[in-house]
């Protein structure tokens, strides 16, 4: 990818992340940390691409490891976040 | 390599849904919808990846997805809410490990495209590896597998030496690209050890900040590897999380009044007794405590981690309901660092059924203690210590606290006379309007409930 273009993406993404979190009330900090933890589970996509292009057994082994870890990050992050958020109720909820 | 439009579209949709999902999570009312939206984003991004032309090892890929996904899904369903922080830590470490492993394959293939790519791959690998082992240590500590902080002699010197080594090896990787296998192995070994050694001496109570920091680290690592792979979805998701995590880390460190460098490099020690405290601790029985609250018009409850450890939150909510039926206004005041993670106490109260519109954070409620008849403190200590406002010699001086001392009466449910995590005596316990109710939070709350019921 064009290096400069990536730099623009870096910059805009950083601002987006900052702006989204700056407004979050303290009561949501734990689910939010766990939710953002889930979002970086998208690393599994990168791991799949690497495994998909792995040539040697060693590369396949590391790739397998990477995909399994990434999948665990995504699945685990989703489950715990959803469980926590399902508990937040208003009065008479 | 140009990818088909449906693959690119899937990744774009994923990134878009992540941002919408995180945005939704900024309010309690839409938060649940937010995570579900982000979940769809993940599914679409993964499904799209399968459509990348020329992908090999598909069977292996499916097996890895099923294995990692199922294991984490099951453990995530089972984990108790009090154990949530270590669970988040371990999932986070896995993400960091995955990012480091991606870089490892990239190095092993040796077809780095440019110097910038190599630099970012190395950076991502270093940060990801540190996050991986560091998060594992954080998990072990919070889970109680590792009982105490382990400090090496000259810990800070060792930290600096290891970090310098890791960076030096990283620079060598960039200069000598494509790197020799020995160098790659050595680089990863030092990075992994760095994460381990840096995290080992950090105390359990500082862990929330550390978990938050590693969360930001993994985000950055994912973002950098996204650049290496030329995948904007990874860049966006990673950097958004990196920025958000950094902000969250700062907020937490500020709430504890400890700069990040302090948490990483110096153990917390009680620096002498501070100012002498006059007065004595006065005990109270459960029946009097019940009466004080029953005939109050406003009660503010300050729960601390001690309440969660005692599993008293359900009893406390039952007590609250009885008081409310009797016409008493009850509110919960939460300090930002109550629990083992920012906002952890809110999750524990939510689990017990406390509606979130009864829960207030420090800025919202501090002005109200003056109008409260009773402040009930359960398993909290340092966060209500007025010395933080007045005593410059106190190690916790300057930490924002809940002004429980301004209530007409203060009742403290506490197991014994010991000090809080900081090791500082709590001046609040010695004031004239404070009464101590010694005992475990759960049976104590139970006793208060009995007395309240008897009063009708």
Neighbouring-strand partners of residue B374: B299, B409
- Which residues in chain A have Cβ-Cβ distances shorter than 8 Å to B50? 48
In A, which residues are within 8 Å of B27 by CB distance?
Answer: 25, 28
Mean pLDDT to the nearest integer, B206-212: 84
pLDDT in tens, B311-354: 899 999 999 999 999 999 999 999 877 777 778 888 889 989 99
pLDDT higher than 80, residue B443: yes
Please say if the pLDDT value at position B75 is more than 70.
yes
List the single residue in A10, A38, A72 with the smallest CB-CB distance to B71: A72
Model confidence band, residue B305 (pLDDT cutoffs 50, 70, 90): confident
Confidence of residue B114 (pLDDT cuts 50, 70, 90): confident
Catalytic residue (choose from B361, B382, B391, B432): B382
pLDDT at residue A28 tops 60: yes
d(CA B436, CA B429): 7
pLDDT tens, residue by residue, A13-22 = 999 988 887 8
CA-closest candidate to residue A35, choices B265, B65, B360, B28: B28
pLDDT at B400: 86
- The answer to whether A2 faces chain B, any CB pair under 8 Å, is no
Give the contacts of B295 (CB within 8 A, at least 6 positions apart): none
Rounded to whole angstroms, how far apart are CA atoms B38 and B260? 30
pLDDT value of residue B343: 80
Tens digits of per-residue pLDDT, B30-58? 899 999 999 999 999 999 999 999 999 99
pLDDT at B370 over 50: yes
B163-177, B211-225, B274-288, B302-316: segment of lowest average pLDDT: B274-288
More confident of the two residues B156 and B77: B77
Q: What is the per-residue pLDDT across B146-183, written as a single tens digit (0 to 9) for each?
A: 777 777 788 888 888 999 999 999 999 888 877 888 99
Give me the mean pLDDT over the B229-253 stretch. 89
- Give the whole-number percent of chain B exceeding pLDDT 90: 55
**Residue bearing tokens 């460190």:** B253
Please say if the pLDDT value at position B419 is more than 80: no
Q: Could you give the CA distance from residue B110 to residue B187 in angstroms, rounded to a whole number?
A: 15
What is the rounded average pLDDT of the residues B84-112?
Answer: 91
Interface test with chain A among B27, B64, B135, by most A beta carbons within 10 Å: B64
Residues 6+ apart with CB under 8 A from B409: B292, B296, B373, B374, B375, B433, B434, B435
Cβ distance B132 to B192 under 8 Å?
Answer: yes
Question: B414 pLDDT band (50/70/90 cuts)?
Answer: confident
Banded model confidence at residue B272, pLDDT cuts 50, 70, 90: very low
Q: How far is B391 from chain A (nearest CA, A)?
A: 27
Nearest-neighbour CA in chain B from A62: distance (Å): 6
Partners of B409 in beta bridges: B374
Nearest to B238 by CA among B112, B84, B131: B131
Q: Which residue, B155, B173, B265, is CA-closest to B210?
A: B265
The ipTM is 0.93
Active site residue B357: no
pLDDT per residue as tens digits for the range B281-298: 888 889 999 999 999 999
**What does the pLDDT read at residue A93?**
42
Compute the Cα dihedral for B255, B256, B258, B259 and give only its sign.
negative
Q: Is the confidence at residue B415, as pLDDT, over 50?
A: yes
Q: What is the pLDDT of residue B138?
A: 92
pLDDT at B336: 78
Interface test with B, best of A6, A8, A12, A13 (most B CBs within 10 A): A13
């Amino acid at each position: 990818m064009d290096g400069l273009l990536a730099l623009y993406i870096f910059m805009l993404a950083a601002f987006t992340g900052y702006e989204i979190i700056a407004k979050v009330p303290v009561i949501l900090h734990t689910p939010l940390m766990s939710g953002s933890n889930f979002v970086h589970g998208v690393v599994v996509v990168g791991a799949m691409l690497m495994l998909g292009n792995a040539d040697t057994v060693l590369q396949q082994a590391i790739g397998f490891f990477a995909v399994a870890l990434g999948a665990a990050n995504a699945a685990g992050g989703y489950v715990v976040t959803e469980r926590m958020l399902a508990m937040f109720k208003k009065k008479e909820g | 390599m140009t990818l088909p439009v449906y693959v690119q579209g899937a990744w774009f949709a994923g990134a878009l849904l992540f941002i919408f999902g995180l945005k939704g999570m900024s309010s309690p009312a839409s938060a649940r919808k937010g995570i579900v939206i982000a979940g769809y984003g993940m599914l679409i991004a993964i499904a799209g990846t399968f459509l990348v032309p020329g992908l090999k090892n598909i069977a292996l890929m499916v097996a890895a997805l099923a294995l990692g996904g199922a294991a984490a899904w099951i453990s995530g369903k089972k984990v108790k809410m009090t154990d949530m922080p270590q669970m988040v830590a371990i999932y986070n470490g896995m993400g960091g490990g995955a990012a480091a492993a991606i870089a490892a394959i990239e190095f092993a293939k040796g077809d780095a495209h440019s110097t910038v790519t190599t630099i970012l791959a190395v950076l991502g690998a270093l940060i990801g590896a540190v996050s991986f082992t560091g998060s594992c240590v954080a998990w072990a500590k919070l889970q109680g597998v590792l009982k105490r902080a382990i400090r090496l002699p000259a810990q800070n010197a060792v930290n600096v030496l290891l970090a310098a080594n890791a960076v030096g090896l990283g620079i060598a990787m960039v200069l000598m690209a494509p790197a020799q296998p020995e160098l790659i192995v050595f680089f990863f070994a030092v990075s992994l050890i760095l994460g381990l050694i840096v995290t080992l001496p950090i105390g359990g109570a500082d862990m929330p900040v550390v978990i938050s920091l590693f969360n930001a680290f993994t985000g950055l690592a994912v973002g950098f590897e996204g650049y290496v792979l030329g995948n904007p979805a990874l860049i966006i998701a990673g950097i958004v999380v990196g920025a958000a995590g950094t902000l969250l880390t700062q907020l937490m460190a500020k709430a504890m009044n400890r700069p990040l460098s302090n948490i990483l490099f110096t153990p917390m020690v009680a620096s002498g007794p501070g100012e002498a405290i006059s007065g004595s601790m006065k005990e109270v029985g459960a029946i009097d405590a019940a009466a004080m609250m029953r005939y109050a018009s406003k009660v503010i409850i300050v729960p601390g981690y001690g309440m969660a450890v005692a599993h008293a939150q359900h009893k406390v909510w039952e007590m609250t309901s009885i008081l409310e039926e009797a016409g008493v206004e009850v509110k919960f005041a939460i300090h930002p660092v109550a629990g083992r993670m920012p906002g952890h106490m809110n999750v524990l109260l939510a689990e017990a059924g406390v509606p979130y519109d009864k829960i207030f954070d420090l800025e919202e409620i501090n002005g109200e203690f003056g109008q409260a008849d009773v402040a009930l403190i359960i398993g909290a200590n340092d966060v209500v210590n007025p010395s933080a406002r007045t005593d410059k010699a106190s190690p916790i001086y300057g930490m924002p606290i809940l002004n429980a001392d301004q209530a007409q009466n203060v009742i403290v449910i506490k197991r014994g006379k010991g000090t809080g995590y900081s090791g500082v005596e709590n001046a609040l316990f010695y004031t004239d309007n404070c009464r101590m109710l010694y005992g475990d939070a759960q049976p104590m709350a139970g006793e208060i409930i009995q007395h309240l019921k008897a009063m009708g």
